[in-house]
Amino acid sequence: MEPPLLNNTEEIAALYRELSQFPSLSSACIGPEITTQYGGKYCNIYTEWSQRDLERAENVKFCRQYLIFHDSQSIVYSSPSGNCTEIKGELLSRDSPSGAQKAVLRKTSNSKGEEKQFLEVWEKNRKVKSIDLSALEKHGQVYEDDQFGCLAWSHSETHLLYVAEKKRPKAESFFKPKAPELNVEEELRKTEQKEKAIKGEQFVFYEDWGETLVAKSVPVLCVLDIESNNVSVLESVPEHISPGQAFWTPGDTGVVFAGWWHEPFRLGLRHCTNRRSALYFVDLTGGRCELLSDDTKAIWSPRLSPDQCRIVYLENVAFGPHQQCSRLCMYDWYTKLTSTVVEIVPRKSQGEFTGIYNTALPERCWAADSQRVVLDTAQRSRQVRMNNKIP
């Protein structure tokens, strides 16, 4: 028997209000394994959820944590830890490798309505750092999207790596009225403190990547020294590419990232895994930038193994069909050799594996033993999980 069709608008609104109270899972992260003094093992699972708030007319995010006790073979006991807490203004967050610290990128507005971005460092139950990135004026807005954005701890937990918009020179009109003349000392002090503006370029057009990446034109890699609060912008990245999805190399001697070509034009990157791109390495000790993959392909989602020996990433033909079948590749950090883990399937047969169709690899796709990569992919009308043994 079919359910009755609702025609009354009040009944429809009441049903929508009821259904909007069910949150949807946005992301989850498994924390490090902890051993108690009695030998028991547990880990913390941090989850983020999204729910529609009809009174505020906006989607709200909140977090909830779970404790999972296990015996290395199965889950012994699991339980939520405390109540849910709304996440206000949080753009990105990342736990340190040891789990002792957490970095948070937060957006706030001051009394004048101006938006600012703060990079916070939390340790256990207190905030130990809050850095006003806007006040430093080293770069523009920090990228929080999943295309370029990242927030990566160094293995030593002393530095943070992120992606931001390149700082643009200030511009002003030719007809901007001049301030009253000052004496020589005041004029010299003002000139030293204020960056000289370029006249007549306040309306210059900057091509951006568009499609949920509006106002993102020239991303740069930035490194924050947590101890000194100093931010450095890496200058070795080639000017014809946009870097993103970056992480630290073994020993924190450099940074690996995916770089997308600006040619023929920027617009058309979101959902376009066929844009020409390659894997790069920036050596922080020598200042050079090195190509690690074939620069005629399209690559994305590089992921470093827990033993810091290998990098897996997805690859397919540049400028080919959108959402085409992808190849799972692996780069060995020490032998400098690239191999194929899962090849592209050119023509699928009934009942056989159809290939990898995926927009991104999971953030933690590697198993703890660095011998397997776990991912999901579409197989006809189903989404299935794959467990790939690394040769």
Report pLDDT digits (tens) over 7-58: 889 889 999 999 999 999 988 888 878 888 888 888 888 899 999 999 888 8
pLDDT higher than 80, residue 120: yes
Percent of the chain with pLDDT over 70: 95
The H or E element containing residue 52 is strand 41-53
Query: How far are the Cα atoms of 133, 134, 164, 367 from residue 113, in angstroms, in the given order?
Result: 17, 14, 22, 45
The H or E element containing residue 15 is helix 9-19
Q: Give the pLDDT score at 82.
A: 77
Compute the distance between CA of residue 387 and CA of residue 391 in angstroms, rounded to an integer: 13
* pTM for the model: 0.85
Which residue, chain included where needed, has tokens 């931001």?
164
Query: How far are the Cα atoms of 33, 55, 95 from residue 30, in angstroms, in the given order?
Result: 9, 33, 10
Kindly indicate the confidence band of residue 180, based on its pLDDT and cuts at 50, 70 and 90. low
Least confident of 149-158, 195-204, 338-347: 195-204
Q: What is the mean pLDDT of the chain?
A: 89
- With CA atoms as reference, report the closest residue to 59 among 44, 48, 70, 46: 48
pLDDT higher than 60, residue 190: no
Q: Give every CB contact of residue 181 below 8 A, 6+ residues apart in sequence.
A: 187
Q: What is the mean pLDDT of residues 339-358?
A: 87
Which residue, chain included where needed, has tokens 């080293």?
138
